């Protein structure tokens, strides 16, 4: 049977054996074929002919606030991933992270552009004005871990915690968002899925080789959990998700980190 091409393999990214993952996913070759499948012909992450829906002023305001928080998360991911390139212990990981840096830069760009589309004159200033204290605090903690050159801890905070948080929130938000925002988020989610795959694969292997590192990862998780759950709460309230559905989202984030065998 023919080996699946990068695009087919992409859909199975979580099912690949660790060696196959290294050989296929951690390359620009794989990255290019993956993103081509969902970005070709788009304009800032959405179809060129997508039509802007009418948003009530209150809904527009809430959406802008949520996008400001997403911009802080994506800036954290962009700065975090680029810092991780320098401390990655092998060249395969450096190549993968360089594709991630490109993805995160694109995410930030399309979110800032979405705000401009919504009539925000100075998106940068709006992010400064509106972003929540919890996502700002998470960004500082993540970048401090990267600066401390603690590879496993920083990779865990970036490619498992932050990515799982973004994946879960964006996927949920896309279900109820206006069509253009939903398309933009849908494209981002496809990238975040690949980033989590890398984080789980790399960390899983490191933890199997050196089980003593598990305690340090558990420590980072306990340190960041409260901030992550607070960020969830704020964002879900702003996107108008019914309160009854919020605990499920917290659980799905915890399930993502539990796949690494952490309590």
Residues that bind Fe ion (CB under 5 A): 74, 77, 104, 107, 163, 192, 195
Cβ 252 to Fe ion, closest distance in Å? 17
**Residue with Cβ nearer Fe ion (31 or 214):** 31
**Residue with Cβ nearer Fe ion (157 or 214):** 157
Give the C-alpha separation, 56 to 54, whole Å.
7
CA 74 → CA 30, 204, 231, distances in Å? 22, 24, 14
Tell the residue number behind the tokens 């796949």, with chain if given: 259
Tell the residue number behind the tokens 């490191």, with chain if given: 206
**Residue with Cβ nearer Fe ion (163 or 183):** 163
SS3 state at 46:
strand
Cβ 192 to Fe ion, closest distance in Å? 5
Query: Considering only CA atoms, which of 9, 1, 8 is closest in space to residue 25?
Result: 9
Cβ 186 to Fe ion, closest distance in Å? 13
How many other CB atoms sit within 10 Å of the CB of residue 37?
14
Cβ 106 to Fe ion, closest distance in Å? 8
**Residue with Cβ nearer Fe ion (74 or 202):** 74
Contact criterion met (CB below 8 Å) for 206 and 184: no
Query: Considering only CA atoms, which of 94, 115, 95, 113 is closest in space to residue 105?
Result: 113
Cβ 185 to Fe ion, closest distance in Å? 11
**Residue with Cβ nearer Fe ion (104 or 238):** 104
């Amino acid at each position: 049977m023919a080996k699946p091409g990068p695009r087919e393999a992409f859909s199975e990214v979580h099912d690949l054996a660790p060696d196959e993952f290294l050989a296929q996913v951690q390359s620009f070759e794989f990255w290019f074929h993956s993103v081509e499948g969902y970005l070709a012909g788009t304009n800032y992450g959405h179809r060129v002919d997508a039509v802007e829906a009418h948003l009530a002023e209150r809904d527009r305001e809430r959406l802008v606030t949520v996008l400001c928080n997403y911009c802080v998360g994506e800036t954290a991911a962009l700065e975090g991933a680029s810092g991780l390139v320098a401390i990655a212990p092998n060249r395969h990981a450096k190549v993968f992270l360089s594709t991630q840096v490109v993805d995160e830069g694109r995410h930030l760009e399309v979110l800032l552009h979405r705000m401009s589309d919504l009539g925000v004159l100075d998106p940068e200033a709006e992010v400064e004005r509106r972003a929540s204290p919890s996502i700002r605090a998470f960004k500082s903690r993540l970048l401090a871990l990267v600066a401390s050159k603690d590879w496993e801890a920083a990779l865990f905070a970036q490619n498992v915690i932050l990515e799982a948080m973004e994946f879960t929130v964006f996927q949920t938000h896309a279900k109820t968002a206006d069509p253009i925002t939903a398309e933009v988020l849908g494209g981002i989610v496809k990238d975040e899925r690949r980033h989590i795959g890398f984080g789980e694969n790399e960390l899983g292997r490191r933890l199997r080789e050196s089980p003593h590192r598990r305690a340090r990862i558990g420590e980072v998780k306990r340190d960041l959990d409260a901030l992550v759950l607070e960020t969830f709460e704020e964002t879900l309230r702003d996107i108008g998700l019914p309160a009854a559905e919020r605990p499920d989202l917290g659980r799905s984030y915890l399930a993502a980190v539990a796949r690494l065998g952490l309590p």
